[in-house]
Each structure stands twice: as C-alpha cells, then as structure tokens.
Amino acid sequence: MTTAPSLPDDAPPAALPSLLASWLEAQPEPHILFDRAYRIVAANAAYRGQFAQGAPVVGRSCHAVSHHSAVPCDQAGETCPLARSLHSGQRERVLHLHHTPGGEEYVQIELVPLRGADGEPLYFVEKMEPLRIAQGRSGAPGMIGRSAPFQALLELIARVGPSQASVLLLGESGTGKELAARAVHEASARAARPLVVVDCASLPETLFESELFGHERGAFTGAHAARAGLVEAAHGGTLFLDEVGDIPLTMQVKLLRLLESGTYRRVGQTELRRADIRLVAATHRDLRALVAEGRFREDLYYRLSTFPIRLPALRERVQDIPLLAASLLERVAPGRRLALAPAAQRRLARHPFPGNVRELRNVLERAALLTDGPVVTAQTIERALGFDSPPPAPAAPAPRATLRGIENAALRAALQPGAPTHAATRREQARALGVSPRTLYRRLRALEQEECEKMIAGRA
C-alpha cells in the first residue's frame, strides 16, 4: 500500500481531512478516508467512479456505499477491517464482496489507522484493489463462489500470490486445483509470463526427465534433435506440477536440486542451465503418508509445502452450488438459457458429490441433454444422478422344485389348523389325506428329520 502521509502535529483538526483528501486524489486505486463511526470523510475519483457511480459519498457510511448495507460488515456476515484494526491497533487486510456497476466483485481491502497526538486512531485510510481471479456471481470466468470456505481459500491465494513462495494445493480430485494454480499465477508479478502445466500422473518414468528438463540431440534413441523442456518453457513464469505425488523417486532428487539452486541440466548435456520459475504443486494424495512409506522424499515435501492451501470439497461449500450450477449450465448448454427449478437446487444440495465440481458438471450436462424445456426439474436431476448408481444385483435364481419338496409343502399345508384336511387324530388326518396311517407317520418322520438337518446346518 502507498504510505499514507503522517499527520502534522500542528495541523488543526479541521484541516486534516482536506490535507488527506488531496493525497487520496493522487492515488490510482480506489481510496477512502473515514472516521470511527464509518462515516466517509473523503473519497478519491477512483472510488467514486467504481463504487458510487459518481454519486456523492462524503457523509455516508462506507458499508452503505460499498455493500449497499445498512449495518457494518461484521453485522452482515463479513469481517470488518475497522473493527479488527481497533482491536489489534495495526493495519488490517481483508477480502470483501463489493457492489460495482458490473455486479458484485471481490475486493482486497487494506486499512491503515491514522493516529492523533494522543496515539489514538483518529481516521482510517482504506485502499481497495479488485481481486480478478474470482467472482461472486455466475457466468464469470475464473473461480466462482460466495461461501465462507471459498472466501477463506481466496484470502490465502490473495496473500501468497504476489510472493515468490512455493505453493502446495491439497484437496480431493475435482475441487479445482488447476483453477487455483492459475489464480496464484494471475495474482503474481509473473502473470504476463507463461503458466506451464505438467501432468505428473500421465508422464512415464522413462520420459519424465526429458519432458521436464529437455534433451540434447542423440541423448537417447529417438532424440533426433535438441528439445527444450517444460522448465525452460516456464522461464519467468510459473511451473504447475499437477499430481506431484506421482513423481518417480528417481526424479524427485533432480526436482529438489532445481528448487534449491534454480539450476538443471538437459538430458545428455553437462552444462548447467538456470531457471527463473515460481513453483505451484498440487496433489490429492497424503504426501505425509507417502513420506512415511518411503515413497516421497521428506526434503522435497518440505520444499514444496512452503505455503500449503487446502481446497474445500463441494460438500463443504453447498452454498456455492446454485452459482456453480448456473455457470456450468451456460457452458454445457450454450445458448439455451437453462435454469434450475428450486426443487432441483435442493436435490443437488443434498447430494454428497464425491467427485466434487467435476461430478457436478457431469450431472448438469446429463440433465441438460434430458431437458427439452427451459427449466431443469428435480426429477431430471434425480435421473441424471442415477447414471452413476451401480447396476442392480441380479436376482438369485429360484431353487428348482423337487417331488419331495412339493409333497412336504402339501403335507405342511394340510396339517395347518383350519385346513379342510385338518383333524383331531392322525388316523382321521390319514383318512382325510387318502393315505394309510403308516404312510402318514413315515412322511411325518421324514419331514421332521429334514427340518432338524436344516437347523443344524444353519447353526454351523
């Protein structure tokens, strides 16, 4: 932040706002000066044009202009930099959603307290910079969301982006790690240079070194010409190693040397080359567990995880599903203007989405193909979700009937109380069944023996 001017001890209090207003007007980014009661005392042209559309702002509260809210930020679910500064006594940085002519946009706010002669904060200067890597509305490029876990992720990206620190992105598959890597790159001073993506999981071990560092002509069979590697292509920019947990052990030491010294060698060359890169890595694996198993170098792990960032799963940011769904529908069905029925949104919110945003996109693309009208219904979402359900298990074949089985079933039915053939004595039952008493006794003994055998087999 541009250093705010110090307040002269001999300046009368009434003159201070006008002195600071002149300084604010010279700043290119939106700036405001306000007091402890949130009242704007001065605002520069950049602020008036971006957040007030040229309307007067002096005397109004900062939250009324920037947020269209009647209450301060901390009473509306956001972090208030003024409240934090009064508590800490220091400058504070926060991330907010502000109203602009183009809709709500993420803004980085840096607040500096200006103290009077008694050491107490007298005024506050607030600088605002748009965070263009993410949006709080559907249809916008880049990362999309409004939930608290999403905003916490953005705040970390905004803090580490301008630095040179290595970043390790952690999270389940489908959470958008490549989008986050691009956001880190675009928030850095290297944004005008290349972002080079290396899919570590798809590179065979025999080609990994050549792809990453390049090779000289004749370095191996098939190397008919010298070739630059991906590290060289990323010079001056950012190298993104996706699925870094899949890097072969033999290559991990060479990658560590690159990160430690900034040097590497092409395959088949002895000359050292220098690489000016910023490294961002990502994995869905537990690297600590891989280190414990001896499958990942501990020194490389600590070199990669200078600033680890965990990406929340979609089930942790259910509030963002309507925004994401609207944006994804525009991509999978361009020109159709599809909308989700409220019941369809509620059905999506109940689904755990183990595949995260990638799974959400698949479901919505299926639903779009299954929808003829302009509205995607809950029934269509249910049907689209069912595509991933396992097929029903085949029913067990019914046991084949045998003559003895048929006779036993008939005998049991005949002996049930209330049956036409039921009688008080065995002799009467035998007469009713049309068999001799001896035959009935023999059949009953065989039936009893069969049931005992079944009972013993069930216990075993």
Q: Is the pLDDT of residue 170 over 60?
A: yes
**Between 430 and 225, where is the model more confident?**
225
CA-to-CA distance for 98 and 300, rounded, in angstroms?
Answer: 40
For the stretch 354-385, pLDDT in tens is 999 999 999 999 999 999 999 999 999 999 99
Give residue 11's pLDDT.
Answer: 44
Give residue 97's pLDDT.
Answer: 82
Q: What is the mean pLDDT of the chain?
A: 85
Give residue 140's pLDDT.
Answer: 61
Q: Quickly state the pLDDT bin for 73 (edges 50, 70, 90).
A: confident
Q: Is the pLDDT of residue 141 over 60?
A: yes
Query: In a 3-state reduction of DSSP, which class is residue 174?
Result: coil
**Between 407 and 30, where is the model more confident?**
30
Give residue 455's pLDDT.
Answer: 67
Average pLDDT over residues 214-242: 86
Structure tokens at 260: 């430690």
Terminal Cα distance for the chain, rounded: 79
Least confident residue range of 26-35, 61-70, 386-395:
386-395
In this structure, what DSSP letter does residue 9 have?
T
| Neighbouring C-alpha atoms within 13 Å toward the C-beta of 147 | 19
Q: What is the dihedral of CA 272, 306, 186, 79, to 10 degrees?
A: -170
Whether the CB-CB separation of 151 and 136 falls below 8 Å is answered with no
Give residue 10's pLDDT.
Answer: 43
For the stretch 393-451, pLDDT in tens is 676 666 666 666 677 777 777 767 666 656 667 777 777 777 787 777 777 777 777 77
Q: Is the pLDDT of residue 28 over 80?
A: yes
CA-to-CA distance for 70 and 64, rounded, in angstroms?
Answer: 6
For the stretch 325-361, pLDDT in tens is 999 999 999 989 999 999 999 999 999 999 999 999 9
CA-to-CA distance for 81 and 155, rounded, in angstroms?
Answer: 14
| Cβ count within 10 A of residue 379 | 13
For the stretch 282-334, pLDDT in tens is 999 999 999 999 999 999 999 999 999 999 999 999 999 999 999 999 999 99
CA-to-CA distance for 196 and 190, rounded, in angstroms?
Answer: 12
Within 74-215, strands assigned E span 92-100, 103-115, 121-135, 143-144, 167-170, 195-199, 214-215
Q: Is the pLDDT of residue 454 over 60?
A: yes
Burial 229-265 (b: 16+ CB within 10 A, else e): bbbbebbebbbbbbbbbbbeeebbeebbebbeeeebb
Q: Quickly state the pLDDT bin for 14 (edges 50, 70, 90).
A: low
This prediction has a pTM of 0.76
